[in-house]
Amino acid sequence: MTFGRSLSTERDDSTRRNGAEPTVLPETRTPEASAPEAPIPGADLTAQFPSTPRGAQLARRHAVRWLEALGHPPESDVSCAVALVVGELAANAVQHGRVLGRTFGVRLTVDAAAGLVRVEVADAAADRHPSAVLPSSSLEGESGRGLLLVDVLALRWGWTPRRTLGKTVWAEVPSRPAGAADPEPGLV
């Protein structure tokens, strides 16, 4: 399946006046144009995204597709929880951790033995990090609930400074219901 722009023709004013042939633009492939490859069991999803709202949306979509390839349909509890956590942490990286000219990174790791999906979102802003105390939001407020959602959905979460630049905010989301039996070998 191909997304993005296909071959197209465009003319500017100068080509319309002189009757020249239209310019054929090559296919443009953008980050949203390439679906993540099918994951290898035990492999992580690691990707960089632009520090824009669209980048946060793409990060969430890539996470859902990656989990689907691992056997977790998009409507499953695991996929929904991971999608929300990735979406919130990516949105925070864009809004609070954005540094001009820098991207943010997302890494997902499945620990089948522990029954966890670890979500890591790294940005370049070392001086701005999540508070250890969750904010209390007013019911009328339009923002301020992202880390509350992460706190509810994840078993634990936190942040660590990155060695070179910035920080990584991480969360560990259960990949099976509490009290569920261990999955059969090979299944997550």
Q: Which amino acid is at 146?
A: G
Alpha carbon separation from 103 to 5, 32, 51, 56 (Å, rounded): 23, 15, 5, 11
For residues 67 and 183, is the Cβ–Cβ distance under 8 A?
A: no
| pLDDT for 99 beyond 80 | no
pLDDT in tens, 43-74: 789 999 999 999 999 999 999 999 999 999 99
Where in the chain is CATH 3.30.565.10? Answer: 35-174
**pTM as predicted:** 0.70
DSSP-assigned letter for residue 123: E
Domain 35-174, what architecture?
Answer: 2-Layer Sandwich (3.30)
117 versus 126: which is more confidently predicted? 117
pLDDT, mean over the chain: 75
Which pLDDT tens digit goes with each residue over 125-153?
877 766 665 556 555 655 667 888 899 99
All residues at 6 or more sequence positions from 73 whose CB lies less than 8 Å from its CB, including other chains: 79
pLDDT for residue 91:
93
- Asked if pLDDT for residue 103 goes beyond 70, the answer is yes
Judge residue 82's burial from the number of C-beta atoms within 10 Å of its C-beta, 0-12 exposed, 13-18 middle, 19 or more buried: buried
Question: Using an 8 Å Cβ cutoff, are 98 and 50 in contact?
Answer: no
